């Protein structure tokens, strides 16, 4: 929705100094100068300097000129100004606002308001630039010249470019499964400290493999100006799990690829996608075209979908999105579906994501809240129930999402359309959503995506705002990389979700006697079926046995910390791949959970840990995505931190000077505990504090965990009178979660 369009060319002009390119997350000083136009600014009039919701530029403060992010504002004619900052004082997505009001005096034409962001004149280090890249970062000025609180955007806005910094992390990405002897590729990139792909890479690495690979060079060299290296047309004749490592000049491992399973036969192939993200046309950053390009060329996705908030999608933008999905969708290479995020208020059912099979379909918005053209308002679906009714005959699929609004699937759900729930995104981790589904008897799969706002689908670092998590990925097990193949995977729940890692995962229910697997959920009506000896994740099966065998095959991109074997709401076993005899001097301290289901879910864990009678010989943070937040060893036996969680977890590993001596003191606002180090063992010591799984856990780990690959078999009961939803939640040592979709078995 635009501001007033009254005579913008007479409302003044603005400049920024310096101009040019600035490293993401760096500390800078910018002077933004507004020069009043013909009307000047009347007494009690104002201007706003606004930034996008997605921007995580340092929060402006006007109180301490020696501290970070200090902003000073003055008028050239001596008029008295009142200055304030509010994160939500303008129309979205430009809602982060420095509000400058003339409270005594006025401005004539040519008078100026000078805004120094990161004013260094009295000792401030500057203002921290946003942590992600944007070619045209705007210092957008809107003007209330006539003191009516009716703002006009300037016709030209000052801009700078935000670019990536030097690489600090290297990544090697392989496909997850291929047939032996077929071609595959290896994708390599460096990322800066904020997760941006870097074009400042200039290193040479040696490539080391655990299996012979035809076509793989001995070394690769990155050149400045390149964001990635792609090595195509590789092949491997042997069966097994291939891992490729990048070794630096000191022969140290700079990156370890995700495993690639090479099989003699394979019916379904794993394809990785981020099914949910936004661009600058709604509430994100960078264009929709750049969104799809990033997913394909910098995140190396197989599937990528744009899901803008529907109340910001104009008819023109909807047509443009359809053009883009048709252009970028190429069978066998890169798949995208037209779709959108139905963004109804929580009380109307909460967020849903709609993926259409084909372009040209009618968008049924939750409202036209930010759309001026109301000519198609009669197509709106104001509630989730209305949405399901309005799209019931569409060739599409839906999944439930937790964002600012959360999906209330108890209020509204349609088994025909809503085939999955999203348990993780950059907003956090929400296992309670799959629990809601189990409580209602729904048969849904599990997806994880980013809902990224920073223009990085498939590699969505949370940056420095209250987004508490790295964006997720969904692995779809499909017969081929086509729209039909991927859609069939989503409808059959043949997929698993992760918090951003790429794991080989197979979960399988094996029956003692043939069981009946249904082609479609039999609760929806008559459907075909077949006799099977086993079933994969997502299948719906009827059997007569009292027990089944549950098989798990997991090969992680990092060592596996634990596997939780679950039947619906019940955790049947927590398996760790190491034994008590392997435990060493390493302890793990985890903080996790959220305040509640809504927007204010952030839980702050600022505090410290202190040892009495022992020392920390080494510390390593877990899921410390916001590197601006403090994590510091301040003494031999003390570590201080600042941290938040939004449903997921963070924490640290500590290697102790002595395995069993002393006492560990943990002090946060929510949990204060003293623990005898000798009592820290294999099982979690948990300290709860309300909210949703809001707690601190402490347990012991091996000094080095070598267990990347785990295969398990368990005999599990088949309970009567209910679905048995067999699935796993896996935790990798590096902090990533993986969830299989359940296999639904009933008697």
Q: What is the pLDDT of residues 349-390, one digit of tens each?
A: 999 999 999 999 999 999 999 999 999 999 999 999 999 999
Pick the CATH number of 8-163 from 3.90.1150.10, 2.60.40.1510, 3.30.70.141, 3.40.50.2000: 2.60.40.1510
pLDDT given at position 627: 86
Per-residue tokens: 648 = 């997921």
* Alpha-carbon dihedral 455, 349, 310, 456, rounded to 10 degrees: 10
**Cα(161)–Cα(136) distance, integer angstroms:** 5
The one-character DSSP state at 138 is: E
Under the banding of pLDDT at 50, 70 and 90, the label for residue 9 is very high
Q: What is the pTM of this model?
A: 0.96
Model confidence at 533: pLDDT above 60: yes
Q: Decide: helix, strand or coil at residue 346.
A: helix
Q: Decide: helix, strand or coil at residue 303.
A: strand
Per-residue tokens: 448 = 């994880």
- Scanning 176-314, the segments in alpha helix (DSSP H) are 288-297
Q: Please state, for a pLDDT cut of 90, what percent of the chain lies above it.
A: 95
Model confidence at 535: pLDDT above 80: yes
Pick the CATH number of 504-571+712-747 from 2.60.40, 2.40.50, 1.20.1630, 3.30.590: 2.60.40
pLDDT given at position 600: 78
Which superfamily is assigned to 270-500 in CATH? Answer: Metal-dependent hydrolases (3.20.20.140)
Model confidence at 466: pLDDT above 70: no
pLDDT in tens, 278-328: 999 999 999 999 999 999 999 999 999 999 999 999 999 999 999 999 999
**Cα(132)–Cα(22) distance, integer angstroms:** 11
Q: Decide: helix, strand or coil at residue 730.
A: strand
Other Cβ atoms closer than 10 A to 15 = 14
- Scanning the structure block, which residue is given the tokens 């600058």? 280
Instruction: Name the residue among 439, 404, 444 with its Cα closest to residue 421.
Output: 444
- Scanning the structure block, which residue is given the tokens 């530029």? 57
Fold of 169-266: Immunoglobulin-like (2.60.40)
Under the banding of pLDDT at 50, 70 and 90, the label for residue 497 is very high
pLDDT given at position 602: 85
- Scanning the structure block, which residue is given the tokens 């000094």? 703
Element (H, E) at 323: helix 315-328
pLDDT in tens, 197-218: 999 999 999 999 999 999 999 9
Q: Please state, for a pLDDT cut of 70, what percent of the chain lies above it.
A: 100
pLDDT given at position 35: 98
pLDDT in tens, 117-171: 999 999 999 999 999 999 999 999 999 999 999 999 999 999 999 999 999 999 9
Instruction: Give the CA distances from residue 124 to residues 25, 68, 69, in Å, rounded to whole numbers and listed in that order.
Output: 16, 5, 7
Residue ranges covered by each domain of the chain: 8-163, 169-266, 270-500, 504-571+712-747, 578-701
Model confidence at 465: pLDDT above 90: no
Decide if 169-266 and 504-571+712-747 have a common fold: yes
The one-character DSSP state at 372 is: S
Average pLDDT over residues 399-409: 92
Instruction: Give the CA distances from residue 693 to residues 489, 591, 593, in Å, rounded to whole numbers and listed in that order.
Output: 31, 10, 5
Model confidence at 595: pLDDT above 80: yes
Per-residue tokens: 245 = 């490592």
**CA angle, corner 90, sides to 85 and 92, nearest 5?**
120
Beta-bridged to residue 96, according to DSSP, are 51
pLDDT in tens, 615-651: 999 999 999 988 888 999 999 999 999 999 988 899 9
Average pLDDT over residues 55-71: 97
Average pLDDT over residues 595-602: 82
Model confidence at 1: pLDDT above 60: no
């Amino acid at each position: 929705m635009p501001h007033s369009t009254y005579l913008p060319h007479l409302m003044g002009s603005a400049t920024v100094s310096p101009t040019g390119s600035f490293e993401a997350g760096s500390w800078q000083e910018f002077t933004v100068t507004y020069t009043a136009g013909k009307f000047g600014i009347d007494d009690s009039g104002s201007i706003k300097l606004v930034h996008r919701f997605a921007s995580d530029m340092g929060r402006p403060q006007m109180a301490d000129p020696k501290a970070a992010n200090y902003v000073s504002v003055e008028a050239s004619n001596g008029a008295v100004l009142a200055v304030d900052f509010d994160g939500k004082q303008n129309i979205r997505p430009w809602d982060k606002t420095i509000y400058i009001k003339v409270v005594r005096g006025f401005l004539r034409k040519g008078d100026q308001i000078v805004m120094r962001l990161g004013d260094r004149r009295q000792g401030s280090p500057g203002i921290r630039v946003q942590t992600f890249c944007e070619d045209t970062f705007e210092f957008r000025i809107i003007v209330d010249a006539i003191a009516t609180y009716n703002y006009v955007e300037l016709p030209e806005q000052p801009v700078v470019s935000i670019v990536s910094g030097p690489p600090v992390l290297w990544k090697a990405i392989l496909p997850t499964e291929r047939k032996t002897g077929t071609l595959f590729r290896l994708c390599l990139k460096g990322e800066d400290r904020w997760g941006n792909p870097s074009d400042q890479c200039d290193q040479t690495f040696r490539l080391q493999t655990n299996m012979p690979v035809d076509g793989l060079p001995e070394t690769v060299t990155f050149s400045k100006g390149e964001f990635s290296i792609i090595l195509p047309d590789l092949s491997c004749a042997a069966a097994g799990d291939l891992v490729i490592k990048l070794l630096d000049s000191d022969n140290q491992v700079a990156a370890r690829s995700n495993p690639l399973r090479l099989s003699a036969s394979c019916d379904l192939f794993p394809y990785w996608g981020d099914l949910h993200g936004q661009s600058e046309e709604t509430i994100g950053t960078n264009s929709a075209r750049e969104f799809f390009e990033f997913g394909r060329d910098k995140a190396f996705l197989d599937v990528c979908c744009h899901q803008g908030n529907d109340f910001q999608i104009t008819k023109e933008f909807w047509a443009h999105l359809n053009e883009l999905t048709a252009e970028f969708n190429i069978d066998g290479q890169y798949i995208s579906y037209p779709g959108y995020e139905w963004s109804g208020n929580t009380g109307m059912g909460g967020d849903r994501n709609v993926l259409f099979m084909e372009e040209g379909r009618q968008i049924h918005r939750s409202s036209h809240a930010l759309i001026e053209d109301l000519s198609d308002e009669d197509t709106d679906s104001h509630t989730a129930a209305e949405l399901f009714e309005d799209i019931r005959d569409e060739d599409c699929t839906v999944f439930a999402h937790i964002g600012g609004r959360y999906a209330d699937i108890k209020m509204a759900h349609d088994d025909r359309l809503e085939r999955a729930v999203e348990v993780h995104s950059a907003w956090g981790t929400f296992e309670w959503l799959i629990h809601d589904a189990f409580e209602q008897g729904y048969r849904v799969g599990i997806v994880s995506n980013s809902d990224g706002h920073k223009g990085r689908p498939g590699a969505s670092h949370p940056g420095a705002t209250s987004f508490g998590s790295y964006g997720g990925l969904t692995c779809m097990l499909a017969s081929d990389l086509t729209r039909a193949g991927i859609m069939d995977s989503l409808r059959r729940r043949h997929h698993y979700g992760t918090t951003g890692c790429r794991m080989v995962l197979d979960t399988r229910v094996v029956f003692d006697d043939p069981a009946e697997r249904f082609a479609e959920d039999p609760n929806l009506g008559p459907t075909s079926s077949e006799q099977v000896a086993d079933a994969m994740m997502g299948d719906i099966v009827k059997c007569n046995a009292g027990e089944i065998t549950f098989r798990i095959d997991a090969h992680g991109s990092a060592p596996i910390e634990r596997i939780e074997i679950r039947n619906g709401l019940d955790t049947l076993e927590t398996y760790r791949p190491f034994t008590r005899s392997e435990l060493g001097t390493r302890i793990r301290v985890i903080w996790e959970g959220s305040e509640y289901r809504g927007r204010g879910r952030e839980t702050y864990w600022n505090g410290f840990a202190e040892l009495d009678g022992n020392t920390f010989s080494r510390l390593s943070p877990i899921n410390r995505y916001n590197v601006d937040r403090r994590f510091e060893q301040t003494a031999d036996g003390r570590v201080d931190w600042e941290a938040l969680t939004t449903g997921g977890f963070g924490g640290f590993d500590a290697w102790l000077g002595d395995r069993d001596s002393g006492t560990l003191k943990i002090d946060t606002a929510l949990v204060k505990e003293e623990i005898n180090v000798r009592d820290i063992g294999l099982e979690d010591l948990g300290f709860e504090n309300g909210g949703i799984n809001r707690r601190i856990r402490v347990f012991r780990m091996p000094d080095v965990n070598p267990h990347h690959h785990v295969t398990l078999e368990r005999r599990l009961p088949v309970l009567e009178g209910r679905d048995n939803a067999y699935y796993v939640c896996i935790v990798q040592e590096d902090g990533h979660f993986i969830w299989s979709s359940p296999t639904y078995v009933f008697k």
